[in-house]
Chain A
């Protein structure tokens, strides 16, 4: 068989996937670009060409800027917390203790819990009148009056981050644990003989094994956090006073609540562009760190 024939055969086998991808991803993406230059409504009018008007309005508006900042804080804080807690949990799960295998198995629970169920659960926990958080803090004497955790702009975003972090740190922990188990025993033993302290053992002996897998987890989690919609929609719908409104929520409101398909599409493309920049920057970072180690 010639290599030419093999390549042709490969394309032939990929045909079903390519057709599906063009139909449900390629074409919609192109059409979103077209719509972003129009003032089309979601239902009814086709809209007419308006050039860059949608983009100009979005970029100069305070809604977009404020939402971008909210999204940034949500992504940075939740991902940072997930990475730190996840690595600490993995280091713990790599120690000897009774019930270790059970605890390792249970780590899958938050990850397997559907996002919407997780959001609903935390919404009930944060409930201002009957929620478990208020009851627990009150019974421990940490607060003297029930609070509306999701109802006040000051605490809503932080409460969402806690709920998101609880669901996602175990995944980071499991990935880090798999990497930790690949660290050869004799290397850590040798470093202890050489008198390395706990921190330098972590930094110079264990970290090189963790860096690669953690980097991948960091990339995937950051991109996911930047696109966040489900947990926020179920818990606060972007409120109170838009204090938890992220970019995906803003696109939803613009395109579907207000039915402005044109400017919704431009907003969606700006979000896409930001995610792409993030992904490319990370890819470069990974390649650089892979080359260094």
Chain B
């Protein structure tokens, strides 16, 4: 390790402190807004820490009383869970066999590039026909319809991640098992898939986060509590008639909680997924 002068050490610590403040301040402020009473939020000069801590908004949003703000919020929370869950499972089901096939069969490798290329497509290029088709088959404003549409994003992405995962499992292990007389389905079920389990978990988390985060299609294809997702519900709050900024912040905290927890605890897996997927392609 290089030896540094005291000044250099102080500068590095100051810079680190600055970075810490830049990263944390907005997130902490979101939380502070969510627990500040309304007088604290509209005080001038602004109260950076509330004089009265007000946790009631969490109760309001998580209550399921009929026709309350909470009912709409809880409904959108469940819609987000359903859509993201279904889309993730469906994406993995179609991605795993194809990713394995591409990984083990160089002759079809070019098809992976076609799949990745679709990931670059702007959603606006597909939105109009998808809208018309969903409306035609009666799946507008429906969680199944939205989950189906999310496959446009999740399927290419999970295939890409799973392929680089299978690439890191030596194919010699598979051929050894085949020599010993195992059938292909046995090889995959007993050897390859268990070895690929960590990659699968990473791919599933990424897919879930992508779906949880999605806004454009949800805005277009859902219109009420039956299918509106959290992102649309929050955008409605932020852009609508709600004048209680604390309530908007509370909705933001609740929507951000699952991905933030996943992000912090799965840090290593997420970053290795990001870098390996990004570098190896």
Contact = CB atoms under 8 A, between A and B. Distances in A.
A24 B148 contact: yes
Nearest to A255: B128
Interface stretch (A8-16, A61-69, A75-83): A8-16
Interface in A105-137: 105-117, 119-125, 127, 129-130, 132, 135-136
Given A20-B151, A42-B131, A113 B259 contact: yes
B136 to A, nearest CB: 11
Given A261-B128, A271-B122, A125 B151 contact: no
A189 B3 CA distance: 11
Nearest to B249: A124
Contacts of A109: 23-24, 27, 260, 263-264
Contacts of A230: 215-216, 231
Contacts of B230: 114
A28 B124 contact: no
A15 to B, nearest CB: 8
Contacts of B100: 13
Interface string B106-138: 011001000101101111111111111101000
Contacts of A175: 274-275, 278
A11 B111 CA distance: 10
Interface in B210-259: 212-213, 215-216, 219-220, 230-231, 234-235, 237-239, 245, 248-249, 251-252, 255-256, 259
B213 A115 contact: yes
B107 A3 contact: yes
Given A13-B97, A14-B97, A178 B108 contact: no
Contact of B12 (A89, A97, A170, A237): A97
A261 B124 contact: no
Contact of B256 (A24, A31, A117): A117
A233 B129 contact: no
A96 interface: yes
B26 A174 contact: no
A10 B101 contact: yes
Interface stretch (B13-21, B50-58, B64-72, B193-201): B13-21
Given A7-B108, A124-B238, A268-B128, 18 more contacts: A10-B102, A14-B101, A28-B130, A29-B126, A92-B16, A95-B12, A97-B9, A108-B267, A109-B27, A112-B263, A114-B231, A120-B248, A127-B245, A139-B45, A139-B46, A188-B2, A216-B281, A268-B124
List 6 A-B pairs, minimum CB-CB distance, nearest first.
A112-B263, A135-B46, A31-B129, A10-B105, A28-B129, A13-B101
18 contacts: A6-B107, A9-B105, A14-B98, A16-B94, A28-B125, A106-B24, A108-B271, A116-B215, A124-B238, A127-B245, A178-B271, A178-B275, A188-B2, A220-B278, A234-B215, A247-B124, A255-B124, A268-B128
Interface of A: 3, 6-7, 9-11, 13-14, 16-18, 20-21, 24-25, 27-29, 31-32, 35, 42-43, 89, 92-93, 95-100, 103, 105-117, 119-125, 127, 129-130, 132, 135-136, 138-139, 166, 170-171, 174-175, 178-179, 188-189, 192, 212-213, 216-217, 220, 223, 226-227, 229-230, 233-234, 237, 247-248, 251-252, 255-256, 261, 264-265, 267-269, 271-272, 275-276, 279
Interface of B: 1-2, 4, 9, 12-13, 15-16, 19-20, 22-24, 26-27, 29-30, 33, 41-42, 44-46, 90, 93-95, 97-98, 100-102, 104-105, 107-108, 111, 115, 117-118, 120-133, 135, 148-149, 151-152, 155-156, 159, 209, 212-213, 215-216, 219-220, 230-231, 234-235, 237-239, 245, 248-249, 251-252, 255-256, 259-260, 262-264, 267, 270-271, 274-275, 278-279, 281
